[in-house]
């Protein structure tokens, strides 16, 4: 974890110093246990600000590999799209052992993802579940155009509820992938529906959230700026 969370928790990450650069180590079990979901979210968003500013933390990769070889204590689990332009760890300025990342086109949930989230939180101690969509998503465009191809057909059907939810806001001739505003509205709605589905389909996660043990949030990444915006 990075400096904002370190200050909030008053814990030391035993930084390695090389010249004028401070190289942070991965989160420890004590730090993970002490952190709150709100602190984790604040740390990720602060990391995104550093990413947007081009001020990524200089990590000591070799030391982090060694330190995490005996265990991991990630602060969050993030469900992201498959898109290669969304390098999740970099987006939040996180390093080895800091976050779990699950990726699938269109950032949709299924039983395998839910099981992974339950492992990450209930068993591995992560405090935050984030669904991260991104603007101009290719999978969402495919769903908007009702594309069909092999197994992709079934995947895109999972995005269809988001398409249906906003179609009345646009004339029929504007309900396609050429209308980027429409696509991005579907992107946001898809994230919102996925967050709701996680709560609905995982009693484990829903109960943890109700007890304040974790937080489940949705967000959208801008391909233009690299900024992450939290959805309400």
What's the pLDDT tens digit per position in 34-68? 999 999 999 999 999 999 999 999 888 999 999 89
Report d(CA 159, CA 142) in Å as an integer: 9
Say how far apart CA 85 and CA 197 lie, in whole Å: 26
Whole-model pTM: value is: 0.90
Question: What CATH number should be reported for the domain holding residue 166?
Answer: 3.40.1050.10
The residue segments making up the domain with residue 159 are: 3-230
Instruction: Choose among 97, 128, 126, 127: nearest CA to 26.
Output: 97
- How much is the pLDDT for 18? 28
Residue 26 confidence (pLDDT): 84
- The secondary structure of 137-200 as a DSSP string is -HHHHHHHTT---TTHHHHHHTTHHHHHHHGGGS-GGG-STT-HHHHHHHHHHHHHHHHHHHHH
Three-class secondary structure of residue 81 per DSSP: coil
Q: Is there a contact between 127 and 121 (Cβ–Cβ < 8 Å)? A: yes
pLDDT at 8 over 90: no
Q: What is the pLDDT of residues 108-155, one digit of tens each?
A: 999 999 999 999 999 999 999 999 999 999 999 999 999 999 999 999
Q: Are 220 and 133 in contact (CB under 8 A)?
A: yes
CA distance 113 to 102: 7
Of 15-29, 140-154, 192-206, the poorest mean pLDDT is in 15-29
Q: How many domains does the chain have?
A: 1
């Amino acid at each position: 974890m990075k400096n904002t969370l370190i200050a909030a928790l008053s814990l030391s990450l035993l930084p390695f110093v090389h010249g004028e650069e401070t190289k942070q180590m991965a989160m420890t079990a004590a730090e993970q246990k002490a952190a709150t979901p709100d602190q984790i979210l604040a740390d990720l968003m602060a990391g995104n600000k550093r990413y947007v500013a081009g001020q990524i933390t200089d990590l000591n990769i070799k030391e982090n590999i060694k330190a995490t070889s005996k265990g991991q204590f990630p602060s969050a689990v993030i469900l992201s799209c498959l898109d290669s332009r969304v390098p999740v760890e970099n987006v939040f300025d996180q390093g080895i052992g800091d976050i779990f990342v699950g990726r699938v086109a269109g950032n949709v949930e299924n039983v395998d993802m839910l099981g992974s989230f339950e492992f990450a939180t209930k068993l591995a101690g992560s405090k935050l579940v984030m669904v991260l969509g991104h603007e101009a998503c290719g999978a969402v465009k495919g769903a908007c155009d009702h594309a069909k191809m092999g197994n992709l057909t079934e995947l895109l059907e999972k995005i269809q509820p988001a398409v249906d939810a906003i179609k009345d806001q646009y004339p029929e001739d504007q309900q396609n992938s050429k209308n980027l505003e429409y696509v991005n509205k579907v992107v946001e709605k898809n994230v919102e529906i996925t967050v709701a589905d996680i709560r609905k389909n995982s009693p484990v996660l829903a109960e943890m959230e109700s007890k304040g043990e974790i937080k489940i949030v949705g967000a959208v990444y801008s391909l233009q700026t690299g900024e992450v915006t939290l959805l309400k």
